[in-house]
Amino acid sequence: MSDVPELVQRAARVFPGGVLGSHRSGPGLEFVVREARGPYLWDTAGRRYIDYLLGSGPMLLGHAHPAVVGAVQRQLARGTTYMLLNEPVIELAEELVRAVKCCEQVRFTSSGSEATFFALRVARAYRGRDKILKFEGGWHGTHDYGAMSVSTRSPKAFPAPTPDSGGVPHAVESTVLVAPYNDLATTEAIIAAHHEELAAVICEPYQRVVVPAPGFLQGVRTVTRRYGVPLIFDEIVTGFRLAYGGAQEYYGVVPDLVTLGKVIAGGFPLGAVGGPAEIMRHFDPALEGTTDYVWQSGTLNGNPIAAAAGLATLGELRKPGTYERLHKMGSRLRQGLGDAARRHGLTAQVTGEPPVFDILFTDRPILDHRAVITADPRKIRRFNEECLRRGVVKASNKIYVSVTHTDADIDETLGVFDEALAAVASSDLRS
């Protein structure tokens, strides 16, 4: 057991805050992962956890899936990277084009943040405009445009943006407009007033754990088409998760461009931008030297190992009944979480779609970011920590479900949720 604190202390010396990013376990709950298989993690002390973080979403098949491991091992023997065309990446691009309705062509990146960055860049080249519109609370990666009005607790009046990170140039603020998610009338008014300046509208069709209101995505699609403004769906999270064709299939709305990541590489670094040839042509090196050309390259773009893992992952997801089972397991877990909150007298909303959702401690219906920030952050932090104490890992603001979570895992998790919510309710009474 002593090796766990030592490793955590070593991490604290070499990583700012002792973490890899923003995910924290909580005081006294830090652990170091030794290995993972299926829906489980094991720490270096040998303790098993049921995993609903799933590497922040990529591990939809669970960890170390035999089909993915086998595909990667076969490719390893052939070389790890080329920065040249290779068979796995061509096959993966072909599968993305078959599966995702707006895709005629694809460009690969090494991350989701790069994918959204280049989707915005190619839209600006196509439209010949600079400004973009995003939705308050929408997360589009770590670049300067993505780090606007994501998590602010003191939002400005629409359409003014608020930077969420130090180091974002003030000049970027002048190129970003912000609209309220699920408020079609305000969104239409902002687009109507600014359409001559807009290069694109970008949105998560399912924003974090906020479900689109009936008609909202369809309305955004209609108004962007009316003014000729490209609509980008950021499907880094939803791609191949809500359905095989992503949110476009699940909600029945087709954008102009899509960004993909997470699931498409089965746990390896890979992202993608996809869309019609009319827009994607701006990436063609034949245009180099013209103002139409969008330079985009990267050492590991189209990496054959990531592509092989992605092909194996998508092959498993195409098997009959996969998504039905995923939604069934997620629905059962989501319903049980809501039932437990009511049983303990907690005011809370369990919000989201079955493959990814969470609990928010507020009496407000979760329709947009301003409803999300009414939730009590102390209670969600306490809930997350109590779950971790009992061997359930989740993201700070999401519960990801995998196809390998079993009925027994759901039973065990619901027991943990019940105990964790009892602890939250008890602390609520004391305060």
- One domain for residues 96 and 198: yes
Claim to verify: residue 40 and residue 75 sit in the same structural domain:
no
User: Alpha-carbon torsion 381, 327, 39, 272, what sign?
Assistant: negative
CA distance 401 to 346: 24
**How many of the other CB atoms lie within 10 Å of CB of 44?**
16
Domain tally, the chain? 2
Do 83 and 175 lie in one domain? The reply is yes
| pLDDT score for 222 | 98
CATH number of the domain to which 195 belongs: 3.40.640.10
Domain end among 317, 332, 362: 317
CATH number at residue 336: 3.90.1150.10
The neighbouring-strand residues paired with 270 are: none
Q: Phi-psi bin for 83: left (phi > 0), alpha (psi -120 to 50), beta?
A: left
What is the pLDDT, as a whole number, of residue 342? 98
Q: Number of C-alpha atoms within 13 angstroms, CB side, residue 387? A: 27
- Look at residue 60 and give its three-state secondary structure: coil
Helix axis angle for 66-76 and 304-317, nearest 10°, is 150
Same-domain status, 299 and 150: yes
Co-location of 166 and 260 in the same domain? yes
Omega into 159 within 30° of 0, i.e. cis? yes
- CB within 8 Å of 320: residues ≥ 6 apart: none
Tell me how far CA of residue 153 lies from CA of 149, 181, 190, 302, in angstroms. Answer: 9, 16, 22, 38
Mean pLDDT in each 10-residue stretch from start to end of the chain (431 residues)?
70 86 74 95 95 97 98 97 96 98 98 97 97 97 91 89 91 95 98 98 97 98 98 98 98 98 96 98 96 94 96 98 98 98 98 98 97 96 96 96 98 98 86 58
Q: What is the pLDDT of residues 323-332, one digit of tens each?
A: 999 999 999 9
180 & 281 share domain? yes
At residue 154, the pLDDT reads: 85
Q: CA-to-CA distance for 145 and 168, rounded, in angstroms?
A: 9
The reply to whether 101 and 226 lie within a common domain is yes
Q: What is the pLDDT of residue 1?
A: 41
Whether 48 and 111 map to the same domain: the answer is no
Question: Is the domain of 269 the same as that of 371?
Answer: no
Among candidate residues 96, 72, 70, the one with its CA nearest the CA of residue 308: 72
Pairing mode of beta strands 356-360, 399-400: antiparallel
Cβ–Cβ < 8 Å for 197, 131: yes
On whether both 183 and 258 belong to a single domain, the answer is yes
Answer with the one of 272, 290, 317 that is the final residue of a domain: 317
C-alpha neighbours within 13 Å on the C-beta side of residue 99: 25
Distance CA 409, CA 99 (A): 31
DSSP E strand stretches across 95-197: 105-109, 131-135, 176-179
Instruction: Tell me the residue range of the domain where 414 lies.
Output: 3-64+320-430
Domain end among 298, 317, 336: 317
pLDDT of residue 3: 52
What's residue 180's pLDDT? 97
Do 334 and 419 lie in one domain? The reply is yes
**If 0-12 CB within 10 Å is exposed, 13-18 middle and 19+ buried, where does residue 412 land?**
middle
34 and 70 together in one domain: no
Query: Alpha-carbon distance 71 to 294, whole Å?
Result: 33
